[in-house]
Structures are given as C-alpha cells and as structure tokens.
A and B are shown apart, each in its own frame.
Chain A
C-alpha cells in the first residue's frame, strides 16, 4: 500500500489560511488522494479527494502537484472548529478500496 508522510502537528491562527502538506512519492497512477479529518471524540469525516486536478468544495481545496508525489489541503479561513487531526490517504483500486490511516497532522487553531 502506498504510504503518505505528513507533519505530526501544525498551528494556525483563526481566520487565516492553513496549508496542510502531504508527501506520497510512491503513489501509483490509479491512486486517489483522499483527505479526512477527525474532530475530538468524533468519527473521521470526509473532507475532499482528487486524482490529478486541483479540487474545491465547501470545506476545503486540494492542490495536487503535477507529478502527483505531493498534495496540499487548504483551509481558506481556519476556525476554532477546524482543530482536528487531518489524514492524507491514498485509495487505489488494487486494495479493494480500503482506507489506510497514518498518524495524520494535528492542527491547532489559536484564537
């Protein structure tokens, strides 16, 4: 299973943009890049996913490098409710679609 590498923790100020990086140098051509987050005492929550092109939705944006070996989750204006563990995960067709979680990035948002 292709692996991802994320910083253990990051800090941000409220109402400022946050860029959460993820490296996935062994990504295969059919792997989708997924992002999930887990707020304290809750289950993981789907944030966004993409294959090659940048993606936007109401929660965040996903910027994917041209070689697809890295990606960045962008929260445009962080709020206190965005404090969570953010997971970058590769989901491919060869593993029957299972999500394999790493340690993620713990995002702290300061007021």
Chain B
C-alpha cells in the first residue's frame, strides 16, 4: 500500500491552462504539505494543512490554491500556468507538530513532474 500517493505522475500542459494535482495519504496523519523542487533541485515548502486548516502559506502566487477536503487529502490547483511553474511537486504528510512532539519524520510522495510548454 502506497503511504502518500500523488496523481498524476507526469503532467505536460500549455501556458495559460489550469491544472490540478491530487494527493492522498493513508497513514492517519493530520498534517499535509506541498513542496516544489525546481530545476536546480532546491526543495521549497509551499503550503501546509493541519486537519484541513491552512497553517503555512509561503509566498506562493495566488494562482496556486491548495484544497483539503479531509485530512487524508490535499490537492493543489494551479491557474494560468506559466513556464516558471515547471517543476516537480511533492506532497508529504506527518503527525502534527503544533503543541505536540515535533521530532517525527515526514513521508513524501513520489512527486508530480509538471512541464509547462
């Protein structure tokens, strides 16, 4: 059983289109994240949700909108795609760190490679 699964694995689309990436975790974790890894391989956090509530929003353009219908799912919708959005997007989950143990590890999905042409 895949712990954190993302779909699709690959996404090629034209500039200006709107696309979504889905993420699901079956670990019972309360906190989920989206990370972006650019062509230089730097991993940067974009968003974090704890039990469906947005807790981290890191200077990300408004074109990116995360949605968490329940604590097991965190989807990422991107409007008006631009060339610079091309990257690998990783979803991750962990047990909550707010007010609780902060030492636990994250579990990452295998990534969605987005190519904007």
Using CB atoms and an 8 Å cutoff, list the residues of chain A in contact with chain B.
30, 32, 34, 36, 42-46, 49, 51, 85, 87, 91-93, 96-101, 103
Contacts and interface: CB of A to CB of B under 8 A. Distances in A.
B42 A101 contact: yes
B68 interface: no
Interface string B4-24: 100000000000000000000
A44 B97 contact: no
Residue from B106, B107, B109, B110 whose CB has the most chain A CB atoms within 10 Å = B106
Contact of A91 (B48, B102, B111): B102
Given A42-B111, A46-B107, A97 B102 contact: yes
* Size band of the interface chain B makes with A: 20 to 34
B105 A49 contact: yes
B45 interface: yes
A34 B105 contact: yes
A72 B27 CA distance: 29
B106 A46 contact: yes
A98 B108 contact: no
B45 A100 contact: yes
Contacts of A43: 4, 90, 92, 108-111
Given A44-B43, A96-B97, A98-B56, 18 more contacts: A30-B102, A32-B103, A42-B110, A42-B111, A43-B92, A43-B110, A43-B111, A44-B92, A44-B108, A49-B104, A91-B97, A92-B102, A93-B102, A96-B56, A96-B98, A97-B98, A98-B33, A101-B43
A48 B55 CA distance: 25
Interface in B77-115: 90, 92, 94, 96-98, 102-111
B102 A101 contact: no
10 contacts: A42-B111, A43-B4, A43-B108, A43-B110, A46-B107, A49-B104, A96-B97, A97-B94, A97-B98, A97-B102
Nearest to A101: B43
